[in-house]
Amino acid sequence: MTTPQAPSTPDQTWGAPSPKQAWSPGRKIAAGAVAAVIVAGGGAAIWAASSSAATDAQAGPGGPTGGMPGGSGPALHGEYVASDGNGAYVTKIMQTGEVTELSATSLTAKSEDGFSKTYTITSEQATGLAAGDTVTVVATESGSTATATSVTDGEAGPRGQGTPPTHTG
């Protein structure tokens, strides 16, 4: 007795992948359009991220003193990374605190939590400041030297906007 054989076709082997069909012109156009939209969207996102100039007032989440989301108030001190405006990035230091020492070339600030740091400043930045004032300092650091890029008299308010100084007398 013989076992019946299934008819065989020379072009197909059972279990082999089926031959690939060429894409139709409409399918090729649709794929090209999708790719163009993805590239354009990515380019726009990169342009938007690199063309906005970062300033000291835009520092970190919510500005330099905006605090972290869910936080209970403005940041006392910390570091953040910002654009230098030329396609590179720079690490900046921010601190809000009381001026404990002041000269024409340096300022030492102490935050409410006891953190203290000395900054190199210009005589212009020192003008109008006095020991006991509350300031917000934004600085860059090279080695162990922190150089102030801005000193704001008074605690910074929402979005980094300084409130008027509270001098009495």
Output the pLDDT for position 143.
86
Query: Cα–Cα distance between 135 and 126 in angstroms, integer?
Result: 11
Output the pLDDT for position 24.
81
Express each pLDDT in 83-142 by its tens digit: 889 999 988 999 999 999 999 999 999 999 999 999 999 999 998 999 999 999 999 988
Its pTM stands at: 0.52
Output the pLDDT for position 137.
94
Domain 56-160 in CATH: superfamily? Nucleic acid-binding proteins (2.40.50.140)
Query: Between 154 and 8, where is the model more confident?
Result: 154
Output the pLDDT for position 50.
62
Q: What distances in angstroms separate CA 132 from CA 59, 102, 110, 160, one per listed residue?
A: 25, 10, 10, 21
Express each pLDDT in 1-28 by its tens digit: 566 666 555 566 677 777 777 778 888 8
Query: Cα–Cα distance between 132 and 42 in angstroms, integer?
Result: 49
Q: Where are the domains of the chain?
A: 56-160
**Residue 143 Cα to chain centre, angstroms:** 22
Question: Average pLDDT of 137-150?
Answer: 91
Q: Are 140 and 146 in contact (CB under 8 A)?
A: yes
pLDDT at 148 over 50: yes
Confidence grade of residue 60 (pLDDT, cut at 50, 70, 90): very low
